[in-house]
Amino acid sequence: MNIVFMGTPAFAVPSLEMLIEEGYNVVAVVTQPDRPQGRKKVLTPTPVKEAALRHGIPVLQPQRLRNPEAVAELAEYKPDLIVTAAYGQILPKSVLDMPPLGCLNVHGSLLPAYRGGAPIQRSIINGEKVTGITLMYMAEGLDTGDMIAKVEVPIEDDDTAGTMFDKLSLAGARLLKEQLPVLVQGKVAAEPQDESEATYAPNLTREDEKIDWTKTSRQIYDQIRGLVPYSGGFTLWDGDVFKVWACAKPEKSDQGKGDAEPGTVLEVGESGIVVKTGDGVLTLLTVQPSGKKAMDAAQFSRGTSLVPGTVLT
């Protein structure tokens, strides 16, 4: 059986590695083109490409998979099955119809909830306590295909998008390992999604990173967790961007401290920067002033001009 694997970030690597370790015949890997990374804009391969090259597997990197040339190149590998995990492009019908056993997707949510490109981040931002993996057949719509199997993964209070990416990537590989033999034997009973329960998780934008101090402490705490370690949240201090990378978990005892307007800095010390929110306070633990590196509250407090009474906007 010829398998073509499609994926891009580190999230997809455990699924690819599992296929190789279990002896499946991965004939090619499709991933996004190399992109410039860092301040020096060094052209960098995707994690999936790096994994494929370590195993000597041919790598295809089309700018657009919809291009006839890309489809023709893919067809040369005669895939019986295509497996995708966070590839980053929508598969055209010509590709969906190519493999006799169909196209599978390892999706990072419990479908039909959180369809789209940022299900893990948005589930944390929205304060969900449980997420998971859905193994599904791919269809022409956005994550609309029939579901093969699911596994739930709890979201702990100290989880971030980074830790959940790691947990879900491993859970996805395990689920794929369990279900592939069943699929190959033709014993899969896929279940259609209930469209009435569908929700969406579009890719994050700069707007999603802005901190609204009128929200509750818990909402802001969850927002920051959902953005770490990729971008962090930000507010403005004297007109400059002031990033927030970590906060202390809000406690009930933090509620109702004074009548200051949301965004007002109440304390600046080695244990944290206490800021008024819509329902109480939030303690910032790791911050990044404009033009500087991220630092903990103790380091920041020793040389800052940020004083109680300052309003972050």
The 10s digit of each residue's pLDDT in 210-224 is 999 999 999 999 999
Are 231 and 238 in contact by the 8 Å Cβ rule? The answer is: no
Q: What is the mean pLDDT of residues 21-31?
A: 98
Q: Is 176 annotated as a binding residue?
A: no
Global pTM reads 0.93
What sign does the CA torsion over 291, 293, 298, 299 have?
negative
Neighbours of 38 (CB within 10 A): 7
Q: Please, are residues 254 and 217 in contact by the beta-carbon 8 Å criterion? A: yes
The amino acid sitting at 282 is L
Report d(CA 177, CA 171) in Å as an integer.
Answer: 10
Neighbour count for residue 289 (Cβ, 10 Å): 17
110 annotated ligand-binding residue: yes
Q: 109: annotated binding-site residue?
A: yes
Using an 8 Å Cβ cutoff, are 247 and 233 in contact?
Answer: no
Closest CA to 27 of 68, 54, 59: 59
The answer to whether 112 is annotated as binding is: yes
175-228: pLDDT as tens digits: 999 999 999 888 888 999 999 999 999 999 999 999 999 999 999 999 999 999
Q: DSSP for 7-46, please give it.
A: E-SGGGHHHHHHHHHTT-EEEEEE-PPPEEETTTTEEE--
